[in-house]
A and B are shown apart, each in its own frame.
Chain A
Amino acid sequence: MSSEQVIFYILSFWFIASSLAMIFARNAAKAVLFLVLGFFSAASIWILLEAEFLAITLILVYVGAVMVLFLFVIKMLNIDKSTLRAKFAGYLPLGLIVTLIIIAEMTLVLGGAQFGLEVMPSPAKHGADYSNITVLAMQLYTTYVYPFELAAVLLLIAIIAAITLVHKKEINRKKQSISEQVNVSAKDRIRVVSIASPSKENK
């Protein structure tokens, strides 16, 4: 075995082990952390395949942002495990059928017929001066520029839709005017009242 193969098998083992651990973890926060470990293993395998831009983007977007928000939400939820497990037996047959269908579909799609070495030969190794990101950028901004821009517009629509959905009407919203807050002076907030001292009057 070459060192590359050894590294590949170690990473693949970690990938599979962390994915399984993610599914079987009882604690939601631990499941998220195992998923993060899975992302890292996947990214490392991509780096072995000389796809460093994809690998770094996976970590930047999914580990750095998406999973942080996942953890954020999990921390604030109080998950009651007993209600989650109550209907486990009832859903088991349906779950098994769905699982079997997914496994069958995956084997059909990802099997040797489509992804075998005859159909897809292993990618050629490039030299040290090969820049994966330049090649990718050339493809994205020339050949695939319309699909790329369409995807960007779709994302923009999704952002606007999400903001519109949670945007309340003017009446229900608490709004603060920063300039008013900054320009406030002591006169607007406190009133100094001079009260005659009672002790003097008594004399």
Chain B
Amino acid sequence: MMELWQSFVLGVNELMPWFDGNVAAIVIILIKAFALIMPLLLTVAYFTYAERKVIGYMQLRIGPNRVGPKGWLQPIADALKLMTKEIIFPSRANIYLFLLAPILAIAPAIAVWAVIPFDEGIYVTNLDVSLLYVLAIGSIGVYGIILAGWASNSKYPLLGALRSASLLVSYEIVIGFALVTVVMIAGSVNLNTIVADQQGGMLNWYFIPLFPMMVIFFISALVETNRAPFDVVEGESEIVGGTHVEYSGMTFAVFFLAEYANMILMAVLAVVMFFGGWHSPFEGLGVLESAFAWVPGIVWLLAKSTFFMFLYLWVRATFPRFRYDQIMRLSWKVFLPMTIVWIFVVALMTQLHIGPWFA
């Protein structure tokens, strides 16, 4: 095995001498990316199943239960159906941009995962400005929706895209300001450092001093991912399906994947920022801590994220859709002033060295 590997490295160096023997690094990155993306896509598939089941039970229905035992093969069947469907291009639409749109939606949704720390030392890359990277790459996803609306050459997609552009830009500012408070406590924009700083039990997690920011972050995440009750971008009752109207088959499936990957990402980010990331909730509790010491950190991270993913579904089954102008008002007149006030509150708490967070 080692010999085969070494001959492979030598061969690559001979063919492409400008690699400087960096082959191993590149192969390792590729393996890491593969190990991240495959489970992610599987999670997305079963998240859609969970969504239909959970909302089904909340509405006193059963949900999908026909394909496979208890409907477990439903997402696979859905994927197969979407893959074999015909892709229809609207007449006089801009084909290049029409096809570029789903790519621009999925690429950032997956690229963001590169900097997420799953456990101490488990990440694809440890970027020094990883929080800014998440915000920057996350903000590119809006191009997919805007282009989809524009390139479709159709009325409803254009309306959906206009709504989405203004919504996403305004809520990005809110998310940015809310995360400034996290950066102020941690003293770093590196996600690894932010999680490491929350070590030492539940009292050290940031959701206690930043509770309003946590709520604002979660609500803004609902808007950013176009989820109910803020799904005016799709808004079936008003603009049919918004930006997705003209997309069929695999092109639609890619948008779908991107939306759910973003939802999972936002849930994981909420845990990383406010709920101690990979840290066990039993830290510093004596017997309980040692009893649960064998559980790897990634399990805690995923368990906490699952709660937030469930919240998405719960919210969707509970609330009616917001009116468009009320969503805008919520962002600019309610959330933004609140975040700015809380930045000053955090500054004051830092000066007074309150609690374990500002020691």
Chain A interface residues (CB < 8 Å from chain B): 1-3, 5-6, 27, 29-30, 33, 36, 52-53, 56-57, 59-60, 63-65, 68-69, 71-72, 75-76, 131-133, 178
A29 vs B101: C-alpha distance when bound (angstroms): 13
Name the segment of B29-37, B158-166, B314-322 touching the other chain.
Answer: B158-166
Which of B150-197 touch A at CB < 8 Å? 150, 158, 161-162, 165-166, 168-169, 172, 189
1/0 per residue, CB under 8 A from A, across B313-342: the answer is 000000000000010010000000000000
**Complex contact B142–A68 (CB within 8 A):** yes
A131 vs B190: C-alpha distance when bound (angstroms): 10
Closest-CB distance, A6 to chain B (whole angstroms): 5
Most interface-central of B97, B142, B172 (chain A CB within 10 A): B142
Chain B interface residues (CB < 8 Å from chain A): 18-20, 22, 94, 97, 100, 127-129, 132-133, 135-137, 139-140, 142-143, 146-147, 149-150, 158, 161-162, 165-166, 168-169, 172, 189, 326, 329
**Complex contact B150–A29 (CB within 8 A):** yes
**Complex contact A2–B20 (CB within 8 A):** yes
Chain B neighbourhood of A132, CB < 8 A: 128-129
Contact with B129, one of A3, A36, A52, A76 (Cβ below 8 angstroms): A52
Closest-CB distance, A30 to chain B (whole angstroms): 7
Contact with B136, one of A2, A30, A36, A63 (Cβ below 8 angstroms): A63
Chain A neighbourhood of B140, CB < 8 A: 59, 63-64
**Complex contact A68–B165 (CB within 8 A):** yes
Contact with A69, one of B158, B169, B329 (Cβ below 8 angstroms): B169
A6 vs B19: C-alpha distance when bound (angstroms): 9
Which 5 A-B residue pairs are closest in the complex by CB-CB distance? A64-B139, A60-B136, A59-B136, A56-B132, A6-B18
**Complex contact A56–B133 (CB within 8 A):** yes
A71 vs B169: C-alpha distance when bound (angstroms): 12
Contact with B132, one of A1, A53, A75, A178 (Cβ below 8 angstroms): A53
Closest-CB distance, B144 to chain A (whole angstroms): 11
**Complex contact B128–A57 (CB within 8 A):** no
A131 vs B193: C-alpha distance when bound (angstroms): 13
Chain B neighbourhood of A5, CB < 8 A: 18
A48 vs B139: C-alpha distance when bound (angstroms): 22
**Complex contact B329–A178 (CB within 8 A):** yes
Closest-CB distance, B238 to chain A (whole angstroms): 19
Q: A33-B100, A64-B136 are in contact. List 17 more A-B contacts (CB 8 A).
A: A3-B18, A5-B18, A27-B94, A56-B136, A63-B140, A64-B135, A64-B140, A65-B172, A68-B168, A71-B146, A71-B150, A72-B146, A75-B149, A75-B162, A133-B129, A178-B326, A178-B329
